[in-house]
Structure 1
Amino acid sequence: MDIEILASGSKGNCYKVKTSDTTLLIECGISFKEIQKKLKFKMHEIDACLITHSHKDHSKAVKDMLKSGIDCYMSYGTTEELEVLNHHRVINFKRKNYLSFQPITKQEYRSVQIGSNMILPFGSVHDTKEPVNYFILDNISDETLLFITDTAYVKYRFDRIDYLMIECNYVKKTLDDNVRNGILDINLRNRIVQNHMSLETVIGFLKANDLSKLKKIYVMHLSEHNSDEELIKTEIQKITGKSVVIC
């Protein structure tokens, strides 16, 4: 898999993932013009866009993406909040009412096929309607990508991960120091804790999952004021022994 970071953080998120026969965007949280520029105006190469939830830093360009003829995949709740109901280019994930194998212990949604890729959405913990994250399996290369952003924690364990893209929004000590020093409002602090992953939560997730096949970790969505880039990279490398890219 070839992963390219187009934008990451509270000002906008957009990631390009090229697999054996397919090129996907995950998120479109910057302007359509910015996406065009970053892709050198080769929008025809994009087969689909996956959106995790309705917040603008993840979905800003969705209506322009649809107008340009790109299929956008998302939950029904996200479709409602983005007001793109009934658009013929919107594909909603269908819920399952039973549990099954797949790479997660419990599965809420049916997987969809895009080219050689099985896309499996799974629920996240965030203050929007029906947010999801993604597990992607390229059936040709047999490589997997786990994409996790904007969630307080991850409810599931995964059998195998080749590439991990994971949010590490804040460091708990840095966040609490900012509250004590009057830099951060306590209400905003509580909202961050209830909706985003800390370094401590990321470390817990890494310890709970099988990382034996992991090739690379991309750390996304760092807070400008509440994170510590050097500490985050050092601690994740210490736990995993893998290559870590701070997005």
Structure 2
Amino acid sequence: MGLFITSLNSGSNGNCYYVGNDQEAVLVDVGISCRETEKRMARLGLSMQKVKAIFVSHEHSDHIRGIPVLAKKYNLPVYITPGTLLHLSGTDYFMVHHLSAFQTVYIGTLEVTSFPKMHDATEPHSFIVQCNDVKVGVFTDLGIVCDQLIRYFSQCHAAFLEANYDDDMLDKGGYPYHLKRRIRGGKGHLSNKQALSLFTTHRPAHMTHLLLSHLSKNNNDPKLVEDLFKACAEGVDIIIASRYEETPVYHISANVIQHEPLGQLDLGFN
């Protein structure tokens, strides 16, 4: 059994990532509205009826904005660290489960494991979602490439990986100095060069898909990123996760390498 993945939105205007199999799915972060989440999933042939939980990476608004309404409407458990929970309003509306580092949560046949990351938030975490032998990582809002990130990235069949900014564009752009320093200061975001180094040095032989995520609107260019990574892809599908729309759904398998998007699905959801 493989995993189906899509980015419903990725960027400072909202982040939401879907990972699931034929029976159940999870959302990592919901930084877009409930209505927009539903619309984008419907366009892909996905349904909220198979979403069984929400996992929260950290408390910044572009990752949590849509959680209270979505969780209340569908009675979804929300897995979140105690420190992150303090920043999330509407907690009376959904079932909260405290999350801790290196904890594995079982959602049906899915296994979701969290681990700490470097970011300017209270208790930020990244996630690995596993079904049988297939592993998908959700790695965004990363200040540095730490040992834990290397360890988990090197296990993935597919990953959402942050490539937030181009160094030259950030240097020459109009952001004030303090913001530039925050972005590249070790608890901000991962540059194209840092993400590319992780990919070329530590990608496993079985990786088939890389969804480059959380691109800056002002300090990056999707074509630049795509060309940079495709030059080193060596058979891995390189996909740019948009800040304006959902990606296609991709099927990730441990046995069959499938390089074409599935487009709209009909998996008996509707």
TM-score by length of 1: 0.85
Count residues in correspondence. Answer: 228
Distance 1:154 1:22, change over 3 A: farther
Distance 1:171 1:220, change over 3 A: same
Amino acid at match of 2:166: V
Q: Distance in 2 between matches of 1:162 and 1:230?
A: 24
Distance 1:44 1:121, change over 3 A: same
Specify the alignment match of 1:245 in structure 2. 239
Q: Distance in 1 between matches of 2:41 and 2:22?
A: 18
Matched, 1:62 2:67: yes
Amino acid at match of 2:78: C
Distance 1:45 1:21, change over 3 A: closer
Q: Distance in 2 between matches of 1:3 and 1:42?
A: 13
Which structure carries more relative contact order (alpha carbon 8 Å, separation 6+)?
2
Amino acid at match of 2:128: F
Specify the alignment match of 2:215 in structure 1. 222
Shift of 1:210: 3.9
Deviations 1:170-190 (A, max 9, x none): 011111121xxxx22111111
Deviations 1:46-79 (A, max 9, x none): 1111111111111101111231201111222111
Root mean square deviation of aligned Cα: 1.9
Deviations 1:104-129 (A, max 9, x none): xxxx4221111111111011111111
Matched, 1:8 2:10: yes
Specify the alignment match of 2:254 in structure 1. none
Specify the alignment match of 1:73 in structure 2. 79
Q: Distance in 2 between matches of 1:39 and 1:213?
A: 28
Would you say the 8 A contact 2:68–2:89 is kept in 1? no
Q: Distance in 1 between matches of 2:240 and 2:95?
A: 33
Matched, 1:144 2:150: no
Q: Distance in 2 between matches of 1:57 and 1:20?
A: 28
- The 5 A counterparts of 1:59-208 are 59-68=64-73, 69-83=75-89, 89-94=95-100, 108-139=101-132, 142-155=133-146, 156=148, 157-158=150-151, 159-178=154-173, 183-194=174-185, 195-208=188-201
Partner residue of 1:235 out of 219, 228, 234:
228
Specify the alignment match of 1:21 in structure 2. 23
Q: Distance in 2 between matches of 1:16 and 1:228?
A: 24
Shift of 1:238: 2.4
In structure 2, the gaps of 5 or more residues are 242-270
Amino acid at match of 2:112: I
1:82 alignment partner, SS class: coil
Amino acid at match of 1:205: L
Amino acid at match of 1:244: I
In structure 1, the gaps of 5 or more residues are 95-107
Q: Distance in 1 between matches of 2:51 and 2:194?
A: 33
Q: Distance in 2 between matches of 1:62 and 1:32?
A: 8
Shift of 1:215: 0.6
2:200 alignment partner, SS class: helix
TM-score by length of 2: 0.79
Shift of 1:85: 5.9
Shift of 1:84: 5.7
1:24 alignment partner, SS class: strand
Deviations 1:23-51 (A, max 9, x none): 11121001112112223394322111111
Distance 1:216 1:165, change over 3 A: same
Q: Distance in 2 between matches of 1:114 and 1:177?
A: 45
Distance 1:231 1:39, change over 3 A: closer
Specify the alignment match of 1:105 in structure 2. none
Distance 1:220 1:84, change over 3 A: same
Amino acid at match of 2:240: I
